């Protein structure tokens, strides 16, 4: 029942710029909304107004005792046209980062989190090698503008999810269904990460800093055979895992490009991560190539299986590829009424803290209810609710639980009895 946080472990929250900032910045997701492609019809431009209310949000984070915060920059906001930089947008991000540091909340800065400026999208985005210099110029700009304030960076968030949802299944912009484009985007993003790793280290070293940490927020899933005794199911699970995450992990971590990926840039092999970032949410049950959900399993409000043991199972596999300090860069659940989120946090954090693996940080996804990509605002992952009319922030029961875990350095019997004991998952 009780557990203590690992010594030196720091807890915080994660967000993405497009999901909380609001405003029509002419990105691919603003365009996706205009095409009528968001399930509940909500508009990312009308979202939580973090761009205007960041001071209030930072104050709430400080009130909760958060120690680390993963935030993103909006590419379309700071580079509205090729070669044009919005200096005021840069200045606003700097003010927010300074406010975080003044409250002893360490920033982790994400450079790409699913969203492209429409000018980049219209030229083919990450499908074309000749476009990649635009992303690398963004990385250089990030280092130049924030390198004196930020030591920790995520170059790309969930490249496998971006590639498959956008170019294989057509669910996300630009809505393509091309296997060749999917593979090409994975290759190009691996190339971009490796070059970004070099740029960030080189730029900050020239500034006199030696504490730079760069990595990827890797979306990792457990792929389990539907029937363990069925050899076809076991093979399908291993193959799906390899194609969705295994091959790309080796490319981005080690510069090794196993089939079907190609090292078109002739990059030398070498380690290109200072930490292992893990985004973990669920387990997939497999009987063929693809996803499934185990029958009679605990589910969240998006019908994802809740499988706490998977967080350490996935981290262990990543450690075998490249041993590094482990940062849980996202972990959370869709719970629209905050009925079971405290139990979810408790069970996943307990797995992390009782593991022998070198976990250093845990970022809950997410800080506040926000625009959840194609689901819109109907899927709620936040520790803080946002009134849709007044934009008033209110810390949820689960948020108070999380704040108490930080304050007490773990979960004791009183916390468990108060926040967890009466919560149950829906089994279906």
What is the sign, positive or negative, of the torsion defined by CA atoms of 15, 423, 281, 68? Answer: positive
> How does pLDDT run across 256-310, given as a tens digit for each residue?
999 999 999 899 999 999 999 999 999 999 987 777 899 999 999 999 999 999 9
Q: What is the model's pLDDT at position 258?
A: 97
What local confidence, expressed as pLDDT, does residue 265 receive?
A: 87
Q: Residue 177: inside a domain, yes or no?
A: yes
For residues 246 and 253, give the distance between their C-alpha atoms in angstroms, rounded to a whole number.
Answer: 11
* CA dist., res. 202 & res. 143, Å (int): 9
Distance of alpha carbon 62 from alpha carbon 56, whole angstroms: 10
| pLDDT value of position 241 | 95
- Classify 107 as helix, strand or coil: strand
Q: What CATH number has the domain bearing residue 10?
A: 3.20.20.80
Q: Domain range spanning residue 414? A: 3-219+309-314+330-427
Q: What is the pLDDT of residue 289?
A: 74
Average pLDDT of the residues of the chain: 97
Is residue 363 over pLDDT 80? yes
Beta strands per DSSP E along 258-387: 276-286, 298-299, 326-331, 359-365, 384-386
Give residue 1's pLDDT. Answer: 86
Element (H, E) at 3: strand 3-4
Do strands 68-72 and 106-112 pair parallel, antiparallel, or not at all (unpaired)? parallel
Q: Please report the pLDDT score of residue 292 as a whole number.
A: 85
Determine contact, residues 58/202, Cβ cutoff 8 Å.
no
| pLDDT more than 90, % of the chain | 96
d(CA 300, CA 380): 11
Give dist(CA 393, CA 370) in Å, integer: 12
**Tokens in use for 64?**
């909760």
Question: Could you tell me if 309 and 351 are in contact, meaning their C-beta atoms sit under 8 angstroms apart?
Answer: yes
Cis ω for the linkage preceding 174 (within 30 of 0): yes
**Are residues 50 and 23 in contact, defined by beta-carbon separation less than 8 angstroms?**
no
- The predicted model gives 103-131 an average pLDDT of 98
Phi-psi region of 407 (alpha: psi -120 to 50; beta: other; left: phi over 0): alpha
Asked, for residue 296, whether it belongs to a domain, the answer is: no
- Identify whether 80 is part of a domain: yes
Q: Which of 2-6, 264-268, 365-369 has the lowest mean pLDDT?
A: 264-268
In this structure, the strands spanning 384-386 and 393-395 are antiparallel
Q: Over the stretch 151-198, which tens digit does the pLDDT of each residue have?
A: 999 999 999 999 999 999 999 999 999 999 999 999 999 999 999 999
Q: Which candidate, 52, 32, 55, 33, places its Cα nearest to that of 43? A: 33
Can you give the pLDDT at residue 287?
Answer: 87
Q: Does 206 reside within a domain?
A: yes
- The separation between the first and the last C-alpha atoms of the chain, rounded to the nearest angstrom, is 25
**Which is it for the CA torsion 306, 307, 312, 313, positive or negative?**
negative
Average pLDDT over residues 8-32: 97
Over residues 367-379, the mean pLDDT reads 96
- Is residue 237 situated within a structural domain? no
Is 402 a member of any domain?
yes
pLDDT, tens digit (0-9, with 9 covering 90-100), for 134-155: 999 999 999 999 999 999 999 9
Tell me: pLDDT of 229 over 80: yes
- 267's torsion region: left (phi>0), alpha (psi -120 to 50) or beta? beta
Is 382 a residue whose pLDDT tops 90?
A: yes
Residue 300, token pair as written in the block: 């969240």
Asked if residue 281 is part of any domain, the answer here is: no
Residue 221 DSSP symbol: E
Give the whole-angstrom CA distance, residue 148 versus residue 107.
Answer: 12
Q: What's the number of domains the chain is made of?
A: 1
**N residues, the chain:** 428
Give start and end residues of each alpha helix (H) in 266-309.
none
On the question of pLDDT at 66 being above 80, the answer is yes
Handedness of CA 128, 133, 136, 137 (dihedral sign): negative
Helix (H) or strand (E) holding 340: none
pTM for the full predicted model: 0.97
pLDDT higher than 90, residue 96? yes
Residue 332 preceded by cis peptide, ω within 30: no
Proportion of the chain above pLDDT 70, given as a percent: 100
Task: State how far the Cα of 257 lies from the Cα of 162, in Å rounded to an integer.
Answer: 18
User: Is 65 among the domain residues?
Assistant: yes
Burial class (CB in 10 A: 0-12, 13-18, 19+), 179: exposed
């Amino acid at each position: 029942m009780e557990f203590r946080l690992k010594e030196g472990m720091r807890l915080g929250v994660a967000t993405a710029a497009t999901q909380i900032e609001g405003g029509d910045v002419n990105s691919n997701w603003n365009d996706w909304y205009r095409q009528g492609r968001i399930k509940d019809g909500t508009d990312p431009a009308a979202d939580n107004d973090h761009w205007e209310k960041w001071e209030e949000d930072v104050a709430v984070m400080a009130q909760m005792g958060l120690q680390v915060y993963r935030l993103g920059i909006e590419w379309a906001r700071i580079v509205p046209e090729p070669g044009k930089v919005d200096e005021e947008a840069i200045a606003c991000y700097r003010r927010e980062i300074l406010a975080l540091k003044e409250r002893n909340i360490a920033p982790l800065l994400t450079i790409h989190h699913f969203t492209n400026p429409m000018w980049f999208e219209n030229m083919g985005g990450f499908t074309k090698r000749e476009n990649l210099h635009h992303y690398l110029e963004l990385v250089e700009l990030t280092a130049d503008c924030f390198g004196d304030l930020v030591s920790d960076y995520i170059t790309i968030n969930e490249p496998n999810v971006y590639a498959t949802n956008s170019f294989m299944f057509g669910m996300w912009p630009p809505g393509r269904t091309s296997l060749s484009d999917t593979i090409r985007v994975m290759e190009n993003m691996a190339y971009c990460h490796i070059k970004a790793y070099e740029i960030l280290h080189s730029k900050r070293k020239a500034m006199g800093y030696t504490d730079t940490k760069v990595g990827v927020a890797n979306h990792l899933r457990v792929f389990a055979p539907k029937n363990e005794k069925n050899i076809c199911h076991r093979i399908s699970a291993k193959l799906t895992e390899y194609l969705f995450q295994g091959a790309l992990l080796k490319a981005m971590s080690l510069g090794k490009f196993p089939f079907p990926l190609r090292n078109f840039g002739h990059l030398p092999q070498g380690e290109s991560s200072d930490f292992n970032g893990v985004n973990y949410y669920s387990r997939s049950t497999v009987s063929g190539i693809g996803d499934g959900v185990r029958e009679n399993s605990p589910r969240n409000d998006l019908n994802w299986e809740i499988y706490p043991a998977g967080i350490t199972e996935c981290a262990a596999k990543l450690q075998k590829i490249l041993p590094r300090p482990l940062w849980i860069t996202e972990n959370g659940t869709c719970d629209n009424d905050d009925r079971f989120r405290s139990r979810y946090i408790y069970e996943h954090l307990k797995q992390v803290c009782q593991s022998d693996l070198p976990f250093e940080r845990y970022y809950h996804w997410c800080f506040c209810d926000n625009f959840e990509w194609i689901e819109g605002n109907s899927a709620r992952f936040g520790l803080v609710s946002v009134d849709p009319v007044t934009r008033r922030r209110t810390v949820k029961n689960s948020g108070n639980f999380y704040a108490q875990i930080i304050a007490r350095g773990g979960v004791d019997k009183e916390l468990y009895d108060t926040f967890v004991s009466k919560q149950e998952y829906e089994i279906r």
